[in-house]
Amino acid sequence: MLDLSVNIGAMRLKNPIMPASGTFSEDCAKLFDIDALGAHVTKTITRDIRGGNPTPRVCEVRGSMLNSIGIPSKGVDYFKTNVIPFYDQYQTPLVVSISAGSADEFAQICEEVSVPGVAAIEVNISCPNIEADGKAFAMRPSTTEAVMRKLRAATDLPLWAKLTPNTGETTEVAQAAESAGADALVVANTMLSMAIDIHTRKPKLGNLMGGLSGPALKPIALRMVYQCAKAVSIPVIGCGGIATVEDVVEYLIAGASAVQVGTATFISPTVMVRLISELEAFLRTEGLSSVSELIGSIRDEEASDGVFFAEAAE
């Protein structure tokens, strides 16, 4: 029997495939059996009702996309009365993503969503759109540590800190989150980017800038996952540009204990179920019996040589 299950701290997931926040909703249940997933991760919510950013909110760049959705939110009450009960129908653990403009407000919503039906809380301390010029809590170790301590005090549920690729201090931020009590890291959110329509000379996003996601982000987020997995001892959940089973395996080898799939769901809404079965097939082909054998199995000790001869192509 192939064992696809993974542990994220005390949580056991039946497989390592889950959606990324903001790229999944109840609507997915119309497309496939969402109980097949390792976890359900909801779009980030804020306490109060928010409208989100001006349109256009997405645009395409070569082989990837930018978004400046912002965090439109129907508020925490709507979430508790409507969204949690929906996911209660399923066995799969529910992970609620939250955000706030200040650490205190963050702690408050964290407490408010610590209710039955919620298995873990993902804290989006990295959204590049919510504060001016993309400076989010997760840009600096100090602000990460401060907000994470308040969040830690506000709930007994597992806390997943979602990091940003926009910082130059990835490992320091990761360690700050860990030392402040994070149970896992989600690595990473989108990368602050821009696109301009050369004919109108207007930014392609109504919000001027937005976050890069999709395949272009993968080498960057994968590097961060590797750095984080080396720097902390809590589990790392990889996220960024995953579209194929090879991508999933690459993240696991780099040190991720599970992965989140975002933009790929827009390209193929049933991609996650396919990835689960392809991951199983991959294990079988490689003669492995469990996903855990892949996690962190990168062979980084040897300086690989890579010099090869004609024979290699034979």
Partner 1 sequence: MTDMTLNPIFETICRVKSNEPINREYRLIVLDAPSHILKCEPGQFFHLLCPTKGDLRPYLRRPMSIYGFYPEAGELHFLYKIAGEGTAALSALEAGENLNVVGPLGHGFDIQDDWQKLMVVARGVGLATLAPLAQKAQQMGRKLTAICSARSPEVLMSIDHFKALGAEVITVTDSEGTSGVEALEQLIEAHIQAEGVDAFYTCGSNRLLTMLQTICARHGIPGQIALEQQMACGVGMCQCCVRSFRRKDKIIHERVCKEGPVFNLQEAMGC
Ligand X SMILES: Cc1cc2nc3c(=O)[nH]c(=O)nc-3n(C[C@H](O)[C@H](O)[C@H](O)COP(=O)(O)O)c2cc1C
Q: Which two tokens stand for residue 70?
A: 């912002």
Active-site residue flag, 28: no
Pattern 33-52, ligand X, x by CB under 6 A: ----------xx--------
Separation CA 4–CA 279 (nearest Å): 8
Separation CA 99–CA 46 (nearest Å): 5
Whichever of 35 and 131 has its CB closer to partner 1, that residue is 35
Helix, strand, coil percentages (3-state) for the chain, rounded to 5, are 35, 20, 45
Three-state SS for 64? Answer: strand
Pairing type for strands 6-8 and 258-261 reads: unpaired
Pattern 28-67, ligand FAD, x by CB under 6 A: --------------------------------x-------
Pattern 284-313, ligand X, x by CB under 6 A: ------------------------------
Q: Which range of residues in 16-24, 161-169, 245-253, 305-313 is near ligand FAD by CB under 6 A?
A: 305-313
Residue with tokens 């969503």: 113
The entry of ligand X, partner 1, ligand FAD, none that residue 162 binds, CB within 5 to 8 Å by partner kind: ligand X
Q: Which two tokens stand for residue 228?
A: 């984080």
CB 224 within 8 A of CB 256: no
Q: Does 67 bind ligand X (CB under 6 A)?
A: yes
> Of the candidates 15, 46, 92, 97, which one interacts with ligand X according to CB under 6 A?
97
Q: Does 275 bind a second copy (CB under 8 A)?
A: no
> Of the candidates 58, 146, 194, 195, which one interacts with partner 1 according to CB under 8 A?
58
Pairing type for strands 64-67 and 210-213 reads: antiparallel
CA-angle at 45, arms to 5 and 240, nearest 5°: 50
Q: Give the residue numbers of the binding site for substrate.
A: 43, 67-71, 124, 189-190
Separation CA 138–CA 145 (nearest Å): 9
Separation CA 180–CA 165 (nearest Å): 20
Pairing type for strands 159-162 and 120-124 reads: parallel
Pattern 221-240, a second copy, x by CB under 8 A: -xx--xx-------------
The entry of ligand X, partner 1, a second copy, none that residue 242 binds, CB within 5 to 8 Å by partner kind: ligand X
Q: How many residues does the chain have?
A: 314
Separation CA 123–CA 103 (nearest Å): 11
Three-state SS for 52? Answer: coil
Cβ count near 161 (within 10 Å)? 30
Shortest CB 278 distance to a second copy, Å: 12
Residues that bind ligand FAD (CB under 6 A): 60, 308, 312-313
Q: Which residues bind a second copy (CB under 8 A)?
A: 54-56, 61-64, 66, 133, 135, 139-140, 166-169, 171, 191-196, 198, 200-203, 206, 208-209, 212, 215-220, 222-223, 226-227, 241, 246, 249-250, 253-254, 297-300, 302-307
Contacts with partner 1, residue ranges (CB under 8 A): 22-25, 27-33, 35, 43, 51-52, 55-65, 67, 69, 72, 89, 214, 263, 265-270, 305-314
